[in-house]
Amino acid sequence: MSFLELVEARNPDAALSEWLLDHGCDHISTAWQVLERPDWMLWLIENLGVAYERDQPVNFAADCAERVLPIWSGRFPGDDRLRQAIEAARGFADTGRITARIDAGLAARAAAEALVTAARQGVEDAVFQAGSAAVVAAEVVGSPRPLATARDSAALAASARGDGSRGEEQKWQADRVRQWF
């Protein structure tokens, strides 16, 4: 089975297959060099059996969340719970220790509580999405599907940056995926 046939067989979204065909990507290495959609890149890793280490999706999600953290901090300058969630996720990525995993879970919960408070205050969508990206980044640590969870964090970060920056954000994220994987 060819690369394109394998993608078509495993991906219900025809857009990826069409894009790969239109861009002459007949092998994963070709696709990897030209893709600018991090969600598709992570999907390929997850669904085509590409080996990866647990720290890779955690660090990618943390990078995405850190990039939009100033949006949250600008609205809530004294609230460090989201930054702490990102740091806890990185702590697990660095050590792999169970205590670091527990720390990340606790930090994710604290960050989620910050989001609830923000939602009650009627915070702007971009601020809420930036905060959500941090919560989800910490949740990658314990996720049974870390690549899918990392995709969620990246999507939230891209949304937080706004439609005008979405293409730029996706390109940055795609470069980050290539760096970590």
Q: Where are the domains of the chain?
A: 3-47, 55-180
For 134-163, write each residue's pLDDT tens digit: 999 999 999 999 999 999 999 999 998 876
Give CA–CA dist 96/100, Å, rounded: 7
d(CA 43, CA 147): 8
How many C-alpha atoms does 57 have within 13 Å on its Cβ side? Answer: 29
Residue of 79, 65, 86 whose CA lies nearest to 114: 79
46 near 33, Cβ under 8 Å? no
| For residues 5-34, average pLDDT | 91
Q: Is the pLDDT of residue 164 over 80?
A: no
% the chain with pLDDT above 90: 81
Indicate yes or no: pTM above 0.95. no
Work out the number of other CB atoms within 10 angstroms of the CB of residue 145. Answer: 12
* Sequence-distant (≥ 6) Cβ neighbours of residue 167 within 8 angstroms: none
